[in-house]
Amino acid sequence: MRGRWAAGITPRNFTWVIQDRLAVCERPGGYSPNHRKVRRQEEILWINAQRFSRIISLLASSHNLHAYEERNLPCAHFPLPTQMDVSEVLAELYPALLHWLRNGERLLIHQEELGETVAGVIAGFLCWGGVLPEPPRAISAVEQLMKRQMGSAGRTIVALSKQLPPPPEPMAMFKSPAPAIVRTLPKVLAHDEREITTATATTKVAKLRESPSPKVEKTAPKRAKPVKSATLA
């Protein structure tokens, strides 16, 4: 394999959630019935070239797992059932993701397609991990990130994340002065920062208006002493 194909092909809908640490995409090779073996091999080649240390499949089936093993790409399988409660899967998935991230791994998550289920899983993880602890913020952030609205299925997953036992400590590793999550979700966090700045400025103005103005003592101007005219001797 030579030229532009030597580095493989980027999986469809590839998107960073946490820059250089956590990403999502469509199933490598395409979702059924558009799945192609050749395309899958090229996309796995690209994943390896990008130095992803682990790929996480949320497929209900074991499809693609053998292809990852053939390429010596570590993988994990957390099948998300359809039309069923996914709380048990999330209770295993989220701690595992947090553990791998804290160990410095670069992770790629996929299901059959990049739909609202994956969006709900990601928003729920950000909410559960304390990066965006409020569900509405997490949902809005992921909607902007993936450029699509989240339906009821995804929002249900986010709601379930708040019912899970919280992590021993929040994901403080992403709350440094220049966190990667800020680069990934600039609109949401920048909007919050503008609100905080505006609120702070408004509070300062209100305090200035409420505080009594300092009293200035008025002093009468001193009169200049008359100058005596010189007398001629």
For every one of its 233 residues, what pLDDT tens digit does the chain have, with 9 covering 90 and above?
A: 555 556 789 999 999 999 999 999 999 988 777 778 888 999 999 999 999 999 999 999 998 999 999 999 999 999 998 778 899 999 999 999 999 999 999 999 999 999 999 999 999 999 999 989 999 999 999 999 999 999 999 999 999 999 999 998 777 545 433 344 454 454 444 444 444 333 444 444 444 455 555 554 555 555 555 545 444 33
Helices assigned H by DSSP within the chain? 37-49, 65-70, 87-102, 116-128, 135-146, 152-161, 180-184, 186-210
For residues 60-79, one letter each, b for 16 or more C-beta atoms within 10 angstroms of the residue's C-beta and e for the rest, the string is: eeeebbebbeeeebebbebe
Q: What is the pLDDT of residue 174?
A: 52
Which is it for strands 15-18 and 54-57: parallel, antiparallel or unpaired? unpaired
Q: Does domain 7-191 have CATH number 3.40.640.10?
A: no
DSSP class of residue 32? T
Give the torsion through C-alpha atoms of 44, 48, 52, 54, to 10 deg: 60
Report the predicted TM-score, pTM, of the whole model to 2 decimal places: 0.74
The HSE-up count of residue 85 (CA atoms within 13 Å, CB side) is 7
Which is it for strands 15-18 and 75-77: parallel, antiparallel or unpaired? unpaired
Q: Is residue 55 a contact partner of residue 77, using CB atoms and an 8 Å limit?
A: no
For residue range 17-51, list pLDDT tens digits in order.
Answer: 999 999 999 999 887 777 788 889 999 999 999 99
Q: What is the pLDDT of residue 189?
A: 42
